[in-house]
Structure 1
Amino acid sequence: MAELTTLASVLRSEPTRASLDELYFRFNRRDQVHPDPVEFLYRYENSLDREIAGIIASSLAYGRVRQILKSVERVLGRMGQSPRSFLLDGHPSEFSSLFCDFRHRFTSGSDLVRLLDALKRMLLEYGSLHACFSSEYDEDCETVLPALSEFVSKLAVTAECNGMFLPSPSRGSACKRMNLFLRWMVRRDNVDPGGWQCVSPSKLIVPLDTHMHRIGLALGFTRCKQANMRTALEITRAFRRFDPHDPVRYDFALTRIGILGR
């Protein structure tokens, strides 16, 4: 694999904090972001808008990256300058008329409308997605997994979404897109804009996709052949040895190697 060859040349030997930091400082920069859906979050200074943009962008973050960017732009462009205000001021019938022709791979316009309606209801009940997630978050838990399970459950029940659009960690899914959303909203550096204060970066789970799975296998962080939640947790624990306060710190840099083919 091309990304593994590049990774091996950078790490030179078994990974160390120094070699991983070298990758981090090389790739974890704003000028390395495009093409990546996180770039949509940079448009919004208000974290209340950013969390809405983030959950929409992450929910559509499957398939080819160019198509992902096109689909996210199509949604956020129609929501105007404040995605939060769009949801709170709008009615589901308006959502339907705006997005009836939408499709992103397996996600239909009706899937999207149900998600938007569920997000609107969550905002009305909790005030923000941050507050909803915080209501289930327990600092004593090893990871965000219990809170994530409850958060996804609340969204899925209200939205009546299928498992493809909102995979459930309680069913063993790695929940790559939801963990990606949490990375964006919890961490704050040159790539991840942050905005959620209640959740510690130390509790985050690696967003496990095919690139990270191959990298985890190559580095000896896991032997699991399936990219499920068990594997995601195993790889996260391995990264925690290098940075217990921020185990997903290296996620963007490592997966960028595969995406850019460097």
Structure 2
Amino acid sequence: MNQKDLKEFLDLKVSQYNNPKFIESDPIQIPHTFTKKEDIEISGFLTATISWGNRKSIINNANRLMLLLDNAPYDFVLNHKETDLEKLKSFVHRTFNGDDCIQFIKCLRNIYENHNGLEAVFSKFVEKDSLQKSISEFKRIFFEIEHVTRTQKHVSDPLKNSAAKRLNMMLRWFIRNDNAGVDFGIWKSISPSQLSCPLDVHSGNVARKLGLLKRKQNDAKALKELDINLRNLDPLDPVKYDYALFGLGVFEGF
């Protein structure tokens, strides 16, 4: 398949999957239950953090977590007392447990009280065509307060060769304005052209079959290779093709 045919094929798949029906079976439905920017950010960040494994389980546990946060995540993060955190001890999603959850709430409070929120932190370290340094610096700032060491494993660092799939997915949610009602486009300080594809087993396997990726591991080096090839297809909105790659892999078994 030449590049013109490949682009036409993938554009067709983007239009097939990048629409409101996608929300029904995807973790992005959790932040879609909120309207306030900070509620969308915090619910989206927490949901993305636990987005590995069975999608139904992810959605169920993310909904449970929102209930534990009184369905007001921003208010809870900013105004919680130590006693309010006790109920979070029961939360668990795979290896993300109650102690991790409590630590995340404390770290988020520091982000909003002392760093002007998530968008301000990520936008401060943007490079010309990459947010991978932003993700790494975000991790450093997120854990600048006293914290449980084990919790660090739940925030990826691309500068240590991680593909950082979950954080790149979250950034797509917040930065892309797809005019289709799926991605939010609430962060105006960062361009969609700077996004990287959330690289996982599904998108990676499809990308290899289509000749968009040669590297076998799903790591930071593979992500850079995939980014270059997707930017060749659409330099302004390369990550729209995440819908095509994910849809082909998950829904069509491509």
Q: TM-score, normalised by structure 1?
A: 0.89
Task: Indicate which of 190, 201, 215 corresponds to 2:192.
Answer: 201
Which of 17, 36, 39 aligns to 1:27? It is 17
Counterpart in 1 of 2:27? Answer: 37
- 1:76-225 matches, within 5 Å, as 76-95=66-85, 97-138=86-127, 141-158=128-145, 159=147, 160-189=149-178, 190=180, 191-225=182-216
Residues 6-17 of structure 1 mapped to structure 2, 5 A cutoff: 15-17=5-7
Residue among 210, 222, 233 paired with 1:242: 233
- 2:2 & 2:124 partners in 1: Cα distance? 43
1 or 2 for the larger relative contact order (CA 8 Å, sep ≥6)? 1
Residue type matched to 2:90 in 1?
D
Unpaired runs of 5+ in structure 1?
1-11
Q: CA deviation at 1:44?
A: 1.5
CA distance in 1, matches of 2:82, 2:11: 46
Counterpart AA for 1:20: L
Choose 79-88 or 231-240, whichever is displaced more.
79-88
**Cα shift at 1:163:** 4.8
CA distance in 2, matches of 1:84, 1:184: 18
For each residue in 1:184-227, what CA deviation from the matched residue of structure 2 results, as whole angstroms up to 9, or x when unmatched?
Answer: 00001222112111011001011110001101111111211110
Counterpart pick for 1:61 among 51, 71, 92: 51
- CA distance in structure 2 between the aligned counterparts of 1:204 and 1:74, rounded to whole angstroms: 29
- Percent identical pairs in the alignment equals 27
* Aligned-residue RMSD, C-alpha: 1.7
> Which one-letter code corresponds to 2:227 in the other structure?
T
- Structure 2 distance, partners of 1:240, 1:94, is 45
- Partners of 1:232 and 1:205 lie apart in 2 by 7
Preserved CA contact (<8 Å) 1:38 1:184: yes
**CA contact 2:34–2:40 (8 Å) conserved in 1:** yes
Q: 1:80 to 1:188 in 2, by over 3 A?
A: farther
TM-score, with normalisation over the residues of structure 2? 0.91
Cα pair 1:202 1:244 within 8 Å, conserved: yes
